[in-house]
Amino acid sequence: MAWSRTAEADHVVILGGGIAGLFCALKLAPRPVTVLTARPIGEGASSSWAQGGIAAAVADGDTAEAHARDTIAAGAGLVDAQAAYAMTREAPQRIRDLLAYGVPFDRDLEGRLAIGREAAHSARRIVHVKGDRAGFAIMQALARAIRDTPSITLLEDHVAQALLVEDGRVHGIRALRRHDRRCISVPAAAVVLATGGIGHLYAITTNPPEARGEGLAIAAAAGALIADAEFVQFHPTAIATGGDPAPLASEAIRGEGAILINRRGERFMAALHPLAELAARDIVARGVFAEIAAGRGAFLDARGSIGAAFPEAFPTVYQSCIAAGIDPVREPIPVAPAAHYHMGGVKTDARGRTSLGGLWAAGEAASTGVHGANRLASNSLLEGIVFAARVAEDISGLMAPRRSLILPFDQAADRVAGTSPALADQHERELRALMSRRVGVVRDGEGLAAAIRAIVRIEREACTPALRHFAIAALLVATAAWRRCESRGAHYRQDFPKPDSSQARRTAVTLADARALADEAILQAEPVPAGVE
Ligand SMILES: Cc1cc2nc3c(=O)[nH]c(=O)nc-3n(C[C@H](O)[C@H](O)[C@H](O)COP(=O)(O)OP(=O)(O)OC[C@H]3O[C@@H](n4cnc5c(N)ncnc54)[C@H](O)[C@@H]3O)c2cc1C
């Protein structure tokens, strides 16, 4: 490696430019840090697309304890209670931080923060911006603050492809520079993984294409422990007009009284749960899934409840509908469940440390244990900022700040070897369809084993690092789902439809463990005739 040891000594590199990565960089200032991200800041991040807002007990009468209790209840027995209490107690301070960075949260007539309510929260506790524009506004404010902070170096349009590990400790990263397709190496004493989720592993997802589990895969390939990978939250009401990613019709629309109907006009959720459309996300997602699977289709009908107020109340959703040729004021919106949020991720402790020295993780890429088997609405942006701040504090406590930054480029950059993009695209499409069909809203042992067999084959044939990482991330999810022989939270097995208290614990595996599980699943499964994966 052709880099200077001085730069390696105490440099911090943050992978990812979503809310977790940017917040961590700002909290580390004035320490010099490099933020490396696959797209320009603001693009390619789920954070910019968040609609509902951030949960925090800031309203009169609400408490951090009540917020923690709701978080624990949503997580179906797997929430790390200590982590949840820490998160909800620190939430109001982190909201004050965002206000200081210039986030224009909505206010009421008296100038106090306007607080909304979302499903499964026992109090009004969601701070928002212009109705459904929270993510965009937060990211704009953070991006402005980042650009005004001279200690932060941005490497945009760089895709991290590997963690550099020596003696079990991460000491840098290798990345692909997209514009000239050259590889660079960046040395670091501390690497913070904030690369977001895995939604794009699925054919139907609300996530941007960059949410493809690459951070998860490179951490696993470096030997990090991965926790709770089987728990993927499916949003029940993505707008199903063929868009990829599928735009989201946010939960708040159901909160305002919109109902779910099938093609015959029947309201199907009322028969499935007393809370009907406002039942937990996994229950609504399965209800929608069942109607679609039965050929009756599923539609969100806001005509009676919101009607003419729709464009102003939900401008983002309204624009998405109009772009797809649907007017939600006059007609029901076709919807389908879509991969939305990954509760699993790189296992961290309360300080954001992973199982590898030199590697921290925050945001959706991390698994802190606060979400357990199911995430409470609007807790993910919150987890991102709370634990990003904790990571920054931990790193600052370990290393003295430097006065100047030595640009850490590897002089000996290599061109990437020739690849076959068309074949990689074809494999990626195949994998995404398989994940939606076999590792999606409803799962069973046989289907999971078939998916695992196909994933192993695709990884073996992978002709690009990106596809290999895609397959590794898929393998981690599918093998964990195969091993959990019960239904809990967002993980539903139709061959084991009930929770099993003997399995009520979190999981943590290395990639080697996942590969061993894959061998076991393939061995146990009946041989599958060619072409039926
Ligand atoms: C449509 C939608 C609506 C949502 N609404 C809400 C909501 O109202 N409230 C809420 O709490 N949560 C919401 N969520 C979830 C929430 O937005 C995410 O969980 C959160 O933003 C994740 O933040 P992050 O910083 O971890 O990741 P992201 O914001 O996804 O950022 C990840 C970053 O990593 C970069 N990256 C990825 N791979 C690489 C790589 N290999 N190399 C370099 N960079 C890489 C990406 O380009 C991006 O910059 C929503 C999500 C979606 C998709």
User: Does residue 44 line the site of ligand 1, with CB under 6 A?
Assistant: yes
116: its two tokens: 């909304």
Helix, strand or coil, per DSSP, at residue 260: strand
- Check pLDDT > 60 for residue 525: yes
- Check pLDDT > 90 for residue 3: no
* Rounded distance from Cα 264 to ligand 1 centre (Å): 36
* Residue appearing with tokens 């200690």: 151
User: Does residue 366 line the site of ligand 1, with CB under 6 A?
Assistant: no
pLDDT per residue over 267-277, tens digit each?
999 999 999 99
Mean pLDDT of the chain: 92
* Rounded distance from Cα 140 to ligand 1 centre (Å): 14
Which of 192, 195, 314 for a ligand 1 pocket mutation test, highest count of atoms within 8 Å of Cβ? 195
Please choose, from the candidates 422, 44, 430, the residue with its C-alpha nearest in 3D space to the C-alpha of residue 215. 44
pLDDT per residue over 65-78, tens digit each?
999 999 999 999 99
User: Does residue 15 line the site of ligand 1, with CB under 6 A?
Assistant: yes
Whether the ω angle into residue 30 lies within 30 degrees of 0, i.e. cis, is yes
Q: Which residues pair with 165 in a beta bridge?
A: 170
pLDDT per residue over 252-290, tens digit each?
899 889 999 999 999 999 999 999 998 888 899 999 999
Which of 46, 117, 212 for a ligand 1 pocket mutation test, highest count of atoms within 8 Å of Cβ? 46
* Rounded distance from Cα 135 to ligand 1 centre (Å): 9
Of ligand 1's listed atoms, the one at least distance from the Cα of 218 is: 41
pLDDT per residue over 15-38, tens digit each?
999 999 999 999 999 999 999 999
Which of 178, 205, 210 for a ligand 1 pocket mutation test, highest count of atoms within 8 Å of Cβ? 210
Of ligand 1's listed atoms, the one at least distance from the Cα of 469 is: 41
pLDDT at 115: 94
Contact in structure between 348 and 383 (CB atoms under 8 Å): no
- Check pLDDT > 70 for residue 530: no
Q: Which of 106-110, 167-171, 279-283, 507-511 has the lowest mean pLDDT?
A: 279-283
User: Does residue 53 line the site of ligand 1, with CB under 6 A?
Assistant: yes
pLDDT at 255: 84
What is the DSSP-derived secondary structure letter of residue 60?
T
- Check pLDDT > 70 for residue 9: no
Going by alpha carbons, the residue nearest to atom 17 of ligand 1 is 47
Q: Interhelix angle for 511-524 vs 445-461, to 10°?
A: 120
- Residue 388 has φ and ψ, to the nearest 5°, of -65, -40
* Rounded distance from Cα 363 to ligand 1 centre (Å): 8
User: Does residue 187 line the site of ligand 1, with CB under 6 A?
Assistant: no
* Rounded distance from Cα 45 to ligand 1 centre (Å): 4
pLDDT at 422: 84
- Check pLDDT > 60 for residue 374: yes
User: Does residue 196 line the site of ligand 1, with CB under 6 A?
Assistant: yes
The conformational region for residue 196 under phi > 0 = left, psi -120 to 50 = alpha, else beta, is left
Residue 43: burial class (beta carbons within 10 Å; 0-12, 13-18, 19+): middle
Contact in structure between 481 and 491 (CB atoms under 8 Å): yes
User: Does residue 341 line the site of ligand 1, with CB under 6 A?
Assistant: yes
Amino acid at 118: E
d(CA 501, CA 418): 51
* Rounded distance from Cα 340 to ligand 1 centre (Å): 10
pLDDT at 467: 95
Going by alpha carbons, the residue nearest to atom 27 of ligand 1 is 196
Average pLDDT over residues 377-392: 97
User: Does residue 255 line the site of ligand 1, with CB under 6 A?
Assistant: no
pTM reported for the whole predicted model: 0.94
DSSP 456-471: HHHHHH--SHHHHHHH
* Rounded distance from Cα 232 to ligand 1 centre (Å): 14
Q: Which of 9-18, 162-171, 228-237, 380-389 has the lowest mean pLDDT?
A: 9-18
* Residues marked as catalytic: 281
* Rounded distance from Cα 247 to ligand 1 centre (Å): 15
- Check pLDDT > 60 for residue 236: yes
- Check pLDDT > 70 for residue 415: no
**Beta strand spans in 102-231 (E):** 115-116, 126-127, 152-156, 158-166, 169-177, 182-187, 190-193, 226-227
User: Does residue 387 line the site of ligand 1, with CB under 6 A?
Assistant: no
pLDDT per residue over 200-224, tens digit each?
999 999 999 999 999 999 999 999 9
35: its two tokens: 């933020």
User: Does residue 72 line the site of ligand 1, with CB under 6 A?
Assistant: no
pLDDT per residue over 287-322, tens digit each?
999 999 999 999 999 999 999 999 998 888 999 999
pLDDT at 406: 44
User: Does residue 465 line the site of ligand 1, with CB under 6 A?
Assistant: no
Q: Which of 273-287, 336-350, 398-412 has the lowest mean pLDDT?
A: 398-412
* Residue appearing with tokens 């939600």: 328
pLDDT at 412: 45
DSSP 218-233: HHHHTT--EE-TT-EE
447: its two tokens: 């289907």
Average pLDDT over residues 458-470: 93
- Check pLDDT > 60 for residue 93: yes
Q: What percent of the chain has pLDDT over 90?
A: 83
pLDDT per residue over 39-65, tens digit each?
999 999 999 999 889 999 999 999 999
Going by alpha carbons, the residue nearest to atom 38 of ligand 1 is 195
- Check pLDDT > 70 for residue 508: yes
Amino acid at 149: T
Alpha helices in 59-213 (DSSP H): 64-74, 81-100, 134-147
pLDDT at 294: 95
Banded model confidence at residue 419, pLDDT cuts 50, 70, 90: low
User: Does residue 71 line the site of ligand 1, with CB under 6 A?
Assistant: no
